[in-house]
Amino acid sequence: MPPFRVLYLDMNSFFASVEQQLDPALRGRPVAITAVDSDSGACVAASYEAKAYGVKTGTHVRDARRLCPGIIFRPSRHRLYVRFNLAVADVLDRHAELTHIRSVDEFQLALSGEARTLAGAVDLVARLKAAIAVEVGDCLRFSAGIGPNHLLAKIAGKLEKPDGCQWLGSENLPDAIAHLALDDLPGISAAMKARLYRARVFDVPSLFALDPRHARLIWRSVEGERFVRMLQGMDIPLVATERGGFGNSKVLSPEYRDPRRAYLVGRWLVEKATARLRRDGRVAGRFSLSVSSMAGGVWSRNVSCFPTQDTAIFLRLHRALWVRLWRTARPGAVISIGVHLGDVGFLQDRRGDLLMPLAPAELTRGERVSRALDQINARHGDGAIRFGMNTPHPGFFERG
């Protein structure tokens, strides 16, 4: 049996489990976590007791009540879940080699020494389960996947839930995953599944048997070859990717759906996105705004600008696009809003401008002001000083 190199941990019903850990009255009972405290909202997570009734991520609150009359709802507390994520990460890093925190509920570890054998890896999983139960909470459980690379370890981690442990390697592939649909595999979107179908690849065994060079043609990228080689068990390291942009999107709770309040939430999202842009030492040359209304329409526009990290400039672009939206579409109740900073590059690579005048990589006056505000907020807390009026809207449905 070839050596195992990666252990992938997927926390089971993480958000609901955290709530059950903190409130013993919730243990053993069906619990759902909601994005907004309203019947019009949806469940963003569910405990396994709720899943047994058919409640899952995306189920509307009213449907969850119908499926499971005794279900208990709790509003999402994303910052709390992040704290538990860090507590779990601390335990893992003290007992093994934590290499990646993949998401708020997924972790990747490197295997070494005796843990590269199947028996050693299974023993490590048992020790990690026990350590998390003692040091973080006995309601916090995870499913583990063991594999020769990160792709197979992640797939293995989804095979047995909850509280499971599975492995994938040359001895059990592709039979152990032959029952999965193509789009059950990480990285296979609906569009890629359709592309594979057009290439007459209809199932996982066929994909496993595919010539990696053929996969490159189907994907129209070297990523197809990498994917199939990893599926076949090769150890191919993760490749750092170029960041395509910075953005935030928000599903609005009912009290924020008036267009005037949604506009102020948008200003808050712009401030958050531009602060992250500066922390990463980047500039952006394109701003995009997307607004979804309750009527079902989505309005989306973008505008180019000189590459910058000045919050005030992006707030002006945000206002200009809202004015354009108001003149052309007049949205009713707004269900969600998103902002995105694109065409990003490093500040150090920005060319100068003789007309401004601005030397290469030199900060503009507005960028210096933005950085000063970052320093004040870092010392006194987010939002201590703002670029005019905005409306914070914290919660789980925030991406970027």
CA 36 – CA 67 distance, rounded (Å): 19
Give me the pLDDT at residue 268, please. 93
* Residue 99 confidence (pLDDT) above 90: no
398 vs 104, which has greater pLDDT? 104
115-129, 343-357, 382-396: which range is least confident on average?
A: 382-396
CATH number for the segment(s) 1-169: 3.30.70.270
* Residue 396 confidence (pLDDT) above 50: no
Give me the pLDDT at residue 331, please. 74
Averaged confidence pLDDT in the chain: 89
How does DSSP classify residue 2? P
Residue ranges of domains in the chain:
1-169, 173-241, 246-399
Band the pLDDT of 54: cuts 50, 70, 90. very high
Pairing of strands 398-399, 106-110: unpaired
% of the chain at pLDDT higher than 90:
62
Band the pLDDT of 344: cuts 50, 70, 90. very high
The model's pTM: 0.64
| Whether the Cβ atoms of residue 304 and residue 286 lie closer than 8 Å to each other | yes
The CA–CA distances, whole Å, from 95 to 41, 47, 176 equal 40, 27, 29
Sheet hosting strand 142-147, strand order edge to edge: 97-103, 106-110, 6-11, 142-147, 165-167
How does DSSP classify residue 253? P
Pairing of strands 142-147, 165-167: parallel
| Whether the Cβ atoms of residue 305 and residue 320 lie closer than 8 Å to each other | no
Q: Summarize pLDDT for 175-218 with one digit per residue, the tens.
A: 999 999 999 999 898 889 999 999 999 999 999 999 999 999 99
How does DSSP classify residue 327? H
* Residue 399 confidence (pLDDT) above 50: no
Report cis status (omega within 30 of 0) of the bond before 237: no
What three-state secondary structure class fits 28?
coil
CA 118 – CA 124 distance, rounded (Å): 10
Band the pLDDT of 352: cuts 50, 70, 90. confident
Tell me what the mean pLDDT of segment 328-339 comes to. 84
What three-state secondary structure class fits 140?
coil
* Residue 244 confidence (pLDDT) above 80: no
The CA–CA distances, whole Å, from 158 to 10, 11, 362 equal 8, 10, 48
Beta bridge mates, 338: 249, 290
CA 273 – CA 366 distance, rounded (Å): 16
Token code pair at residue 309: 């990290």
Amino acid identity, residue 170?
A: S
Dmax (CA) of the chain: 68
Q: Residue 28: count other Cβ atoms within 10 Å of its Cβ.
A: 11
| Architecture field, domain 246-399 | 2-Layer Sandwich (3.30)
Give me the pLDDT at residue 238, please. 58
Q: Summarize pLDDT for 5-38 with one digit per residue, the tens.
A: 999 999 999 999 999 999 999 999 999 998 766 6
Catalogue the E-assigned strands of 253-385.
282-293, 298-308, 334-346
Residue 194 CA from chain centroid, whole number: 24
Give me the pLDDT at residue 38, please. 60
Q: Summarize pLDDT for 124-174 with one digit per residue, the tens.
A: 999 999 999 999 999 999 999 999 999 999 999 999 999 999 999 999 999
The CA–CA distances, whole Å, from 91 to 97, 157, 188, 394 equal 10, 19, 32, 28
CA 213 – CA 219 distance, rounded (Å): 10
Q: Which of 373, 371, 399, 390 is nearest to 318 (CA)?
A: 390
Give me the pLDDT at residue 400, please. 35
Residue 323 CA from chain centroid, whole number: 31
Measured on CA atoms in the order 95, 96, 99, 100, is the torsion positive or negative? negative
| Architecture field, domain 173-241 | Orthogonal Bundle (1.10)
103 vs 371, which has greater pLDDT? 371
Same fold, 1-169 and 173-241: no
- Give the residue numbers marked as catalytic: 106
Measured on CA atoms in the order 106, 16, 392, 331, is the torsion positive or negative? positive
% of the chain at pLDDT higher than 70:
94
* Residue 395 confidence (pLDDT) above 70: no
